Chains A and B, each alone.
Chain A
Amino acid sequence: EVQLLESGGGLVQPGGSLRLSCAASGFTFSSYGLSWVRQAPGRGLEWVSVISVSGGSTSYADSVKGRFTISGDNSKNTLYLQMNSLRAEDTAVYYCAKEGYGGVTINWGQGTLVTVSS
């Protein structure tokens, strides 16, 4: 069974940094695209970033490009999202997700809340 367990969320001041982790199990970590999707309180879903763990290729939404970095550790089966220069508008639940057939997002974690506030 695929499991994705996010951690690392919390309260951070504007301009600060935070690193989210996503522990993956139940599948071959390096064989799938893994992504982060976020949802601000009361708002819709926003795709944030993706990594092909085997090839190392990455892509980012314009809203986080240059501030966020996605990475994966095959030895730990863990996905990361390093978030720098955080802004109030980055406040959201961040979901870790696994891609499947042709790139569709099939599996989701339960989410971790990031709050950017002074």
Chain B
Amino acid sequence: DIQMTQSPSTLSASVGDRVTITCRASQSISTWLAWYQQKPGKAPKLLIYKASSLESGVPSEFSGSGSGTEFTLTISSLQPDDFATYYCQQYNSYPYTFGQGTKLEIK
């Protein structure tokens, strides 16, 4: 199985900050990587697919990059609504696997 490792586990930041979350795969997954945002009590929401493609309706402050085993999610300017938990997921091969999550907190 492909293991996904996210860092950091927790990130404290302020509105307007630029933040980056990293996701590493235990083997190459090409660009078969997605990023999700989850708020308490809600289902996850797709932000980025194919490593760098922005899902329709997602604000342009979100961007993704990477290929192979190293990926990043960048939020260019944090908005109040962005404080949530973020997960990466590989969909290169079954079983699809998630990173452990990054909780983005208000500093």
Which residues of A pack against B, CB within 8 Å?
A: 35, 44-47, 50, 59-62, 95, 100-106, 108-111
Contact A104 B95 (CB under 8 A): no
State in angstroms the CA–CA spacing of A103 and B89 once bound together. 11
Question: Nearest chain A CB to B105's CB is how many angstroms away?
Answer: 15
Q: Which residues of the other chain, A, contact B100 by a CB distance below 8 angstroms?
A: 44
- Residue in B45, B53, B98 whose CB lies within 8 Å of A47: B98
Contact A104 B49 (CB under 8 A): yes
State in angstroms the CA–CA spacing of A95 and B49 once bound together. 19
Contact A47 B95 (CB under 8 A): yes
Contact A101 B101 (CB under 8 A): no
Q: Which residues of the other chain, B, contact A108 by a CB distance below 8 angstroms?
A: 43-45
Q: Which residue of A lies closest to B95 (CB)?
A: A61
Indicate whether A111 sits within 8 Å of B49 (C-beta atoms), given known contacts A45-B87, A45-B101, A102-B32.
no
Contact B95 A102 (CB under 8 A): no
Question: Nearest chain B CB to A41's CB is how many angstroms away?
Answer: 11
Most B C-beta atoms less than 10 A away, residue of A35, A95, A108:
A108
State in angstroms the CA–CA spacing of A8 and B15 once bound together. 41
Most B C-beta atoms less than 10 A away, residue of A44, A95, A109, A111:
A44
List 15 additional A-B contacts (Cβ < 8 Å) besides A50-B94, A108-B43: A44-B101, A45-B101, A47-B95, A47-B96, A47-B98, A61-B95, A101-B49, A101-B53, A103-B91, A104-B49, A105-B46, A106-B49, A106-B55, A109-B43, A110-B43
